[in-house]
Structure 1
């Protein structure tokens, strides 16, 4: 079930019936743009996952910047709430996954392939690629913290940002699979949100208004309705904790408050953002 905000421009939130034709024709999620100008504004990132890559949100290979980020944090062990002897680095985590799949346990080879291969559409390869990106984003944001934090826009690439956001959702919703074709529209809108936040940071003027960023963040949260059904009042606490995490990088640029609208039994939990 889709929420009430579905027919809104992914950039500014204006009500519209204009869909991204590339995503629609390829069987991807419904992404709306009120005008060609707003679609062009985020196209430099969105085009990487449009058309044939849209339906499964097939992320591109690791960039040189991402490889440099990985090298900065490669030897840091994750400080999660585990006994120290069980903590692993990014490489050790991926090598364990390779071993579990009875594949050659060579992380550096997988990273090399992920930087150059054109065929990364396999869901399992995408999962490992997202694992590297998310872990790198978390460690770039806070290499010593014991709790996962949403990455800051200035410290992460768009693909690291998307992978980390999806990982934070999985943290609160273990019923979702990191391999299954889920959270697709959520990832598309998260990519657009990162694009708008980056443009805002790079702009010396307010070319990207506060309201556009808030409407984009609302679209991100609303897209969760594709895969998560919040049907009980008890879900509100979990939803609030998750959205508080997701809102951190946004609030670094636009300070805002939220209201939540919950409709029991309908699977819709709506978030509305207001500038402070």
Structure 2
């Protein structure tokens, strides 16, 4: 029987996300329903068909509209001296032609979201935007260290599993920092041990 480490707490288990296994053929281990539920808000963005190849989720219609409307705006509104840069988002897109149109659109949208708010690890943005924005930042860091390929969809099985683990970690951090009424006290107490694992 296939065994692996739970993406949330690190315990050895044979239990897997059956949807990711059935639709993408990738083993993502969760030792219990509690662990899987704890990171579901992030994992669901990549569950099933997006698991392997690892593909960024589609934009919502409103996000797509905003991205298209802002293609000629600067990708980074201000430089470190407070002056506006002239490089439009469309030029940034051309510089990353190896990415799929879907990946480009998502990155454009997240760049816009990041430029509307303070650059802290988490802001008042939506949960989805926060997790995806931080995921792309972590991905870029790992690309620069030759751990991951530039297009996420080119990640092999081990690299895709690493990306899924990163999504789970980012979700745990977000749940821990921005807990709402839908998160139980028991879940919050498990976040610290899960993050350590």
Do these two structures clear the TM 0.5 threshold for a shared fold by scoring above it? yes
Which of 38, 42, 45 is residue 45 of structure 1 equivalent to? 42
How much has 1:12 moved relative to structure 2? 1.5
- TM-score, length of structure 2 as denominator length: 0.67
**1:66-108 deviation line (CA, Å, top 9, x unaligned):** 679977xx5334759xxx9x962434312x348x69xxxxxxx
> Structure 1 pair 184/141, CA: closer, same or farther in 2 (3 Å)?
farther
Root-mean-square deviation (CA, aligned residues, Å) is 3.8
Q: Unpaired runs of 5+ in structure 2?
A: none
Which of 146, 150, 160 is residue 184 of structure 1 equivalent to? 160
> Structure 1 pair 174/51, CA: closer, same or farther in 2 (3 Å)?
closer
Which of 137, 141, 145 is residue 164 of structure 1 equivalent to? 137
**1:165-214 deviation line (CA, Å, top 9, x unaligned):** 11121123298342652142222112111211111112385434322112
Are the aligned partners of 2:21 and 2:27 in contact in 1 as well (CA < 8 Å)? yes
Q: Which one has more relative contact order, counting CA pairs under 8 Å at least 6 apart? A: 2
The answer for the alignment partner of 2:56 in structure 1 is 59
**Aligned with 1:11: secondary structure?**
coil
Which of 193, 197, 214 is residue 169 of structure 2 equivalent to? 193
The answer for the alignment partner of 1:209 in structure 2 is 191
Are the aligned partners of 1:17 and 1:34 in contact in 2 as well (CA < 8 Å)? yes
- TM-score, length of structure 1 as denominator length: 0.50
- Tell me how many residue pairs correspond in the alignment: 174
**Aligned with 2:19: secondary structure?**
helix
Which of 105, 114, 134 is residue 129 of structure 1 equivalent to? 105
